[in-house]
């Protein structure tokens, strides 16, 4: 049996394994969230994030079993942080892009669609740009435009993010939510990894 020397300050393998496994889980999951936000930027609605949320939930279950041999607690702890990180990151990134390079454009409102939500009625609109190309706009729950009218919107020349009404661009609040979601998700992963390592140590010493 190899004894550690008094001056050997390296952490035991169990601690290193916990740190490495928690770091790997954090990197993989947050990489997936960043990809989801990037792919979802052109959309005017967060509904497209549902497949990414389902995959993230499954990943949380897998990570929970890997880190602590129990997946459901981590999945339940991490679901709300995942939603906050996705929603906040998506809104903050879109607002920042429009603030940095968005251009005001006068467009024609050509059609209206309505969807009833718990918060109210969400109206979405088909637009016609000055060059004749089609566009879309989701001005937010409760905001209604007149079909046939011309309105000024802010759009990204490269089409990376969804078009918005002027004055809606403020990345501060959604960025705070995204950061809180990321921090909470990291905390949930670390706690699960530590509990899993303690369980492995306890099982090893009681045999």
Give a yes or no: residue 23 inside a domain.
yes
One domain, residues 28 and 92: yes
Mean pLDDT of 26-49: 89
Kindly give, in sequence order, each residue whose CB lies less than 8 Å from that of residue 38, ignoring residues fewer than 6 positions away.
Answer: 93
Mean pLDDT over the full length of the chain: 86
The pLDDT of residue 82 is 95
Number of domains in the chain: 2
d(CA 189, CA 82): 12
Residues 33 and 90 in one domain: yes
138 and 67 fall within a common domain: no
Both 71 and 145 in a single domain?
no
Q: Would residue 160 count as lying in a domain? A: no
- Predicted structure pTM score: 0.78
Q: Are residues 94 and 114 in the same domain?
A: no
Contact indicator for 145, 139 with CB cutoff of 8 Å: yes
Residues 180 and 90 in one domain: yes
Q: What is the mean pLDDT of residues 62-70?
A: 90
DSSP secondary structure code for residue 69 in this structure: S
What range defines the domain where residue 128 resides?
105-155
**pLDDT (0 to 100) of residue 1:** 47
Residue 79 sits in the same domain as residue 19: yes
The pLDDT value given to residue 13: 54
Could you give the 3-state DSSP secondary structure of residue 142?
coil
């Amino acid at each position: 049996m190899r004894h550690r020397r008094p001056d050997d300050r390296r952490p035991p393998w169990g601690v290193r394994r916990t740190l490495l496994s928690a770091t790997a889980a954090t990197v993989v999951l947050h990489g997936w969230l960043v990809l989801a936000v990037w792919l979802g930027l052109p959309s005017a609605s967060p509904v497209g994030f549902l497949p990414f949320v389902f995959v993230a939930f499954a990943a949380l279950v897998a990570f929970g079993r890997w880190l602590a041999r129990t997946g459901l607690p981590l999945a339940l702890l991490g679901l709300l942080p995942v939603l906050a990180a996705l929603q906040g990151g998506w809104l903050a990134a879109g607002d920042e892009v429009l603030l940095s390079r968005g251009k005001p454009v006068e467009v024609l409102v050509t059609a209206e669609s309505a969807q009833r939500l718990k918060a109210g009625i969400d109206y979405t609109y088909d637009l016609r740009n000055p060059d004749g190309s089609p566009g879309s706009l989701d001005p937010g729950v409760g905001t209604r435009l007149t079909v046939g009218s011309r309105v000024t919107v802010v759009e990204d020349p490269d089409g990376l993010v969804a078009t918005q009404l002027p004055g809606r661009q403020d990345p501060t609040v959604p960025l705070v939510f995204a950061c809180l979601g990321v921090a909470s998700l990291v905390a949930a992963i670390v706690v699960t990894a530590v509990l899993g390592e303690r369980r492995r140590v306890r099982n090893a010493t009681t045999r």
